[in-house]
A and B are shown apart, each in its own frame.
Chain A
């Protein structure tokens, strides 16, 4: 009754297992996903408890439309055809037909909308729901790239106008050609630097200074050779 490809699709769409699926374009991945969601709904999961994340907005709306079309068909199919379709899904046996018919309206009316969305929009939604907890302003708008670049350059101007000491470090690292690209890529610097941690990861003892290090490496006092040619001038060491 079922060929191998269909059987593979049915297995992949089984909502009781976690699945990692790779397939060529056009082989029916979206179909498997909508089948999976449909089966979850059939088994009684409330539509508002299902989350589908996609990479593009186009994929999200396409998937939602296809799912609703499927469920809409079920609502109006005569009984024998409906049984056949459910059996093809892998829900043979004695499926609850009225429940299957109700799924269309239930999915459409999901409180908060059926959550088929891009990762971006999911994250934005979470931040909007918990602005205080997340530390973002109430009613924020997302920065587009150009506004973000303008704000970054304003910040650098301000720092330059006020002679901020950090700019000296920045100049040592960057020539100013692609400063915006460099600034935009800065991540993970929310918390202030912890010297103890940096020292530890570099294999230094806490509070160990340059002279201590030289003394450790050159116990016989030969440290002078190094100091002459490679003094750490120009680089400000922060305590």
Chain B
């Protein structure tokens, strides 16, 4: 192999990397027999590179392939599972926190341990020891540093001492051994060795590359090398310029000189020169104005570049989708490269319009798969009382009750729907086994079996609600699995048939769980939240790719995969600061100077890697750069590389820089115009008018007095509820809100009056009866402990006043005769009945009636009663017409409100019998108009405040009409008419 030139080589940006390597390799082995190729070993940074290289070699004809290896495998991988290491570290950290309780404020040990383990991995790669931490000068940071240092010392002693068991440490160890051997000419490989596709950003990899470059038959091929960068610039890229795309090559250049070209041509030479100048490191950018003219005419350099600057991220995604569709139609291969995940998701959703499924290399992280979410829900049952919404969420989950086949699952869904409706209407707020069994009694065998199964599961889960303290990891895990399997299997079902461990993600989730179980004995005693964190962390490390048939020409990739992508059209999307480049999370352990002193890389290195991904991708023949000018909250800041490029182009008008930029934007605007065109609806639908329906007469046959206020304020609500029969669905999460409180307080009064207090009872005895009623009702009807306390305190606070007034009333001979009994009065001349269920009507000694209403909030004023709150005057009119059997037709003496809050006072309101009669006549006139169809049930006729909502605002299409619009009556035909 005399012709083999060892040393440092490189391929330019924008080249088809795998094809370039294959070409160069074949050219160098051209004069040799075929088996010589089989003795070549190629090391790559990632399996994707190896796959691309293998495909590129095979595409060039039949041959014996070289040995294709990953650099990472030099170390042999991990000797001990990383999870085991993290759990042991977690135990040490938990012990340290226990010794210093003020540090333990809400810390999640699995999170702490994972963060420490990552830092230790970095230190292992750079070959650091625990003593490296001592190199940091603490004089300025002494106080801050002390606490973090304690934890770092624990982690360092555990991770950085011999012998190496972690993958990073083993790789380091192996590379050191190999380098030492080769330097002494020992254990030399038998054929050429090539390292391809690696930038040498990690210490161990870089040292391996250096060792290979020194071999007589070694070659290191750098991807995306900038051949246009002059030597002075290379010198100026020191260790502080970590964010420069070529910065990781600087030490290699310093050691080995400029790399030679692996293959001769550089197709994107003009473009690369422009980009190279645009990305120069900051200290030399004052030369832009001097070096710019050297680029010549900029139009050819930007020929294949398009710039799309959308107003919103949604628009950006639509534009990208249109681009991709166009490429697919022209049978052109296209790759979308995006750093944040939101954009590809939007683009995939937009492509679904045309049933195009792109080939997306990112999978779904395990915690977001159905099985992952299912386990999170089950784990979330621990430490909390079960609410209706948590129960329904689990019941509706696609994994639940799938152990007996599809028919059983359908039945399950029907039962779930029935149960949900009943729970919403009637509760209990915290369902348990007993409640389920009662519910199951009601309708048939199928429901009884299902309810019995569910009751068993709830009984099983009930004790877990109180489990808040630390418990061994193994116990928690086995409990979780048992409970999850019960849920998934269903009544009489088989968990192996269910969806829990099957499907796309099921086996991965099962493997994750089994992995944790194998090492569970190493963990510390965990609280429920820490256990959930651990599960989440473990599952997050895996992603599951969807098993679908994707379009073979459309790819979605992450930036790190840019170097192996060879599609002629590349879309670089989401080019905003914080997106691409991604924002750097603040380092919770070490500041920048501390990292540098310890020998670690700076966080800017990640930006440098990102910049390199960008530089390689932007050299492709056709590139579309896209960004959104705004996100949900504010303007965005363009990606720094795009900013540099546009600024450079805009500042070189003499070389057509401005014109080139304008052309880039014009090409982009074409796609944005298409997006706007696509978004324009083809037909214009006029907005709905303000509804005022007139249903076929007669609309109603009866109404309650409490509805009368609503009839005056918002007739449409009465129409929707009474004529259409639509009631709002009660909320799933029942809260002890003011409405519930009002109901309970009324019930307390009802029970109190039901015990028939008499004039002979002293106020203390009355108080006792009231509190007794309170305790009874709270026990029966109110499951929330806090609500019980507060509502009891409310009654207790006003009990004295209430009972004093009550005693006075009883002493005066007032006798409650109607307590929540229904009364009815027919309206003369119409088939209509007015009903009422008054809180209380007393019979006075003089034979007249006194009407009371209990109010948990503020009672209405005289003016409000005069205008619309007609409940009590109408009740008085009904009493006068003998609507209540218990009391016969008597005149009303007065109306009063008793407050169940505030000071508990009784407040009289202005009243005389003429007022009651007037109110009755007014009501008859009003309802007559509606019944005869002379008046429409207008929406929001006279609301008290324009901001007040109605349950039926959506139904009435509020928003398409405004309250300043006059209502137009809409007569509706009945079923028998035309």
Contact = CB atoms under 8 A, between A and B. Distances in A.
B243 A112 contact: no
B115 A138 contact: yes
Interface in B543-583: 577, 583
B286 A61 contact: no
A156 B286 CA distance: 63
Contacts of A132: 103, 147-148, 151, 588
B144 A160 contact: no
B634 interface: yes
Nearest to A48: B592
Contact of B106 (A72, A129, A137, A177): A137
Interface stretch (A9-17, A25-33, A97-105): A97-105
Given A75-B647, A130-B144, A176 B794 contact: yes
Secondary structure of the A contact surface, majority rule? helix
A61 B286 CA distance: 25
B282 A102 contact: yes
Given A72-B643, A106-B282, A176-B793, A135 B785 contact: no
A6 interface: no
Given A72-B647, A98-B286, A58 B634 contact: yes
Nearest to B115: A138
Interface string B778-814: 0000001111111101100100000000000000000
Contacts of A77: 289, 651
B304 interface: no
A81 B377 CA distance: 65
B633 A58 contact: yes
A76 B291 CA distance: 11
A130 B588 contact: yes
A156 B640 contact: no
A192 B644 CA distance: 55
A81 to B, nearest CB: 11
A177 B644 CA distance: 57
B210 interface: no
B662 to A, nearest CB: 16
A33 B585 CA distance: 27
A56 to B, nearest CB: 7
Nearest to A128: B586
A197 interface: no
A153 interface: yes
A212 interface: no
Given A61-B637, A108-B644, A132-B151, A76 B738 contact: no
Interface string B280-292: 1111011011001
A113 interface: yes
Nearest to B289: A76
Contacts of A196: none
A61 B635 CA distance: 6
A62 B629 CA distance: 11
- Of the candidates B115, B577, B604, B638, the one having the most CB atoms from chain A within 10 angstroms of its own CB is B577
Contact of B637 (A65, A112, A128, A131): A65
Interface residues of B, number: 64
Contacts of B797: 175
Nearest to B288: A75
Contacts of B280: 105
Q: Give the size range of A's interface with the partner.
A: 35 or more
A217 to B, nearest CB: 29
A98 B291 CA distance: 13
A125 interface: yes
Contact of B102 (A108, A135, A171): A135
- Of the candidates A97, A111, A167, the one having the most CB atoms from chain B within 10 angstroms of its own CB is A111
A152 to B, nearest CB: 11
A159 interface: yes
- Of the candidates B111, B603, B652, B789, the one having the most CB atoms from chain A within 10 angstroms of its own CB is B789
Contact of A101 (B289, B591, B636, B791): B289
A139 interface: yes
B581 to A, nearest CB: 10
Given A102-B283, A132-B151, A138-B108, A75 B289 contact: yes
Given A60-B634, A105-B280, A129 B794 contact: no
B365 interface: no
B650 interface: yes
Contacts of A139: 108, 111, 115, 588
Interface string A68-107: 1000110111100000000000000000011101101110
Contacts of A109: 243, 281-282, 640
A101 B147 CA distance: 43
Interface in B616-669: 633-638, 640, 643-644, 647-648, 650-652
B390 to A, nearest CB: 12
B777 interface: no
Given A64-B637, A102-B285, A76 B115 contact: no
A77 B648 CA distance: 11
A98 B105 CA distance: 52
Nearest to B103: A132
A108 B636 CA distance: 14
B786 A105 contact: no
Contacts of B285: 75, 101-102, 104-106
Given A111-B602, A129-B588, A137-B107, A105 B148 contact: no
A160 B786 contact: yes
Contacts of A167: 786, 789
B112 interface: yes
A148 interface: no
A105 B281 contact: yes
A68 B643 contact: yes
Contacts of B2: none
B284 to A, nearest CB: 8
A175 B723 CA distance: 39
A179 B644 contact: no
Contact of A104 (B243, B587, B633, B647): B647
B650 A137 contact: no
Contact of B147 (A61, A108, A133): A133
A159 B787 CA distance: 12
Contacts of B282: 102, 105-106, 108-109
Given A61-B634, A78-B289, A105-B280, 20 more contacts: A56-B634, A62-B635, A64-B637, A76-B292, A76-B647, A76-B651, A106-B285, A113-B583, A129-B587, A129-B588, A135-B102, A138-B112, A157-B784, A157-B786, A159-B786, A160-B784, A160-B788, A160-B789, A171-B789, A171-B793
Interface of A: 56-58, 60-62, 64-65, 68, 72-73, 75-78, 97-99, 101-102, 104-106, 108-109, 111-113, 125, 128-133, 135-139, 153-154, 156-157, 159-161, 167, 171, 175-177, 179
17 contacts: A58-B633, A58-B635, A65-B635, A73-B651, A75-B286, A98-B286, A101-B285, A101-B288, A112-B603, A113-B577, A133-B144, A138-B111, A138-B588, A157-B786, A171-B790, A176-B787, A176-B793
What 6 pairs between A and B have smallest CB-CB spacing?
Answer: A76-B651, A176-B790, A160-B785, A105-B282, A98-B286, A58-B634
